[in-house]
């Protein structure tokens, strides 16, 4: 099954989160809340899904674009925005598309968000996606990237399909196609065109602390 079909099925059959994470809110607040006219700030989300982060950007008055391979997700995100922000198309755009081939001009966005999107791509394709994100980001613009870390629950379980990549049979990525786990060394190679502002590890436990889910939160600037 293709990635597109997998995610269409997931978004059709599973309830998805409706609100952004605290660390994404902090990222936006730190970098852009002080801007006098927030509509002057344009933010792209890769793999926007049903639009939890897009909803937040619309609510806070920013211009935005969201792209996702799943037509189901884009439809769900659009319906939510239609209901809560009827004029959102005046400052926002949602499209079905391939994050590997971003259909945007260079230096268009003040920030690019990757909230567990690029981990779905194999390592070499992930390099290309980060490079594409760099291309469409303005100089002095920002990158927010959250991706599953090596050793997280599911890493090493199931079918091995490539470098650090698995069809997981355990953990939160079960049933979500091919998942790539990122080492710290990988991080620096993947975002080598950027200036790395910070790398943090977000960790939680599941099943009464039996299993550990770990993600890298990578914040970068284009300088």
Share of residues in the chain with pLDDT > 90 (%): 92
Is the pLDDT confidence value at 161 over 80? Answer: yes
How sure is the predictor about 7, in pLDDT bands with cuts at 50, 70 and 90?
Answer: confident
CATH number for the domain running over 3-222: 3.40.50.150
Q: How far apart are CA 160 and CA 5, in angstroms?
A: 20
Give how far Cα 29 sits from Cα of 10, 41, 150, 185, Å.
31, 12, 29, 29
The pLDDT of residue 108 is 99
The pLDDT of residue 14 is 73
How sure is the predictor about 2, in pLDDT bands with cuts at 50, 70 and 90?
Answer: low
Mean pLDDT of 198-219: 99
pTM for the complete prediction? Answer: 0.95
Is the pLDDT confidence value at 1 over 60? Answer: no
Q: How far apart are CA 45 and CA 114, in angstroms?
A: 6
């Amino acid at each position: 099954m293709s990635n597109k079909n997998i995610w269409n099925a997931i978004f059709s059959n599973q309830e998805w989160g409706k609100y952004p994470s605290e660390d994404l809110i902090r990222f936006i607040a730190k970098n852009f809340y002080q801007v006098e006219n927030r509509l002057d700030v344009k933010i792209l989300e890769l793999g926007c899904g049903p639009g939890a982060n897009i909803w937040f950007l619309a609510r806070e008055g920013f211009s935005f674009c969201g792209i996702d391979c799943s037509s189901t997700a884009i439809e769900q995100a659009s319906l939510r925005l239609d209901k809560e922000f009827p004029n959102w198309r005046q400052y926002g755009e949602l499209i079905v598309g391939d994050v590997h081939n971003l259909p945007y001009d260079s230096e268009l966005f003040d920030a690019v968000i990757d909230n567990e999107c690029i981990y779905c791509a194999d390592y070499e394709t992930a390099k290309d996606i980060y490079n594409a994100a760099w291309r469409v980001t303005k100089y002095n613009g920002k990158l927010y990237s959250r991706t599953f870390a090596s050793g997280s629950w599911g890493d090493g379980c199931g079918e091995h399909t490539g470098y650090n990549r698995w069809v997981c049979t355990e953990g939160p990525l079960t049933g979500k196609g091919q998942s790539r786990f990122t080492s710290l060394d990988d991080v620096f190679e993947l975002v080598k065109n950027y200036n790395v502002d910070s790398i943090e590890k977000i960790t939680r436990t599941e099943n009464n602390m039996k299993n550990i889910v770990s993600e890298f939160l990578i914040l970068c600037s284009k300088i």
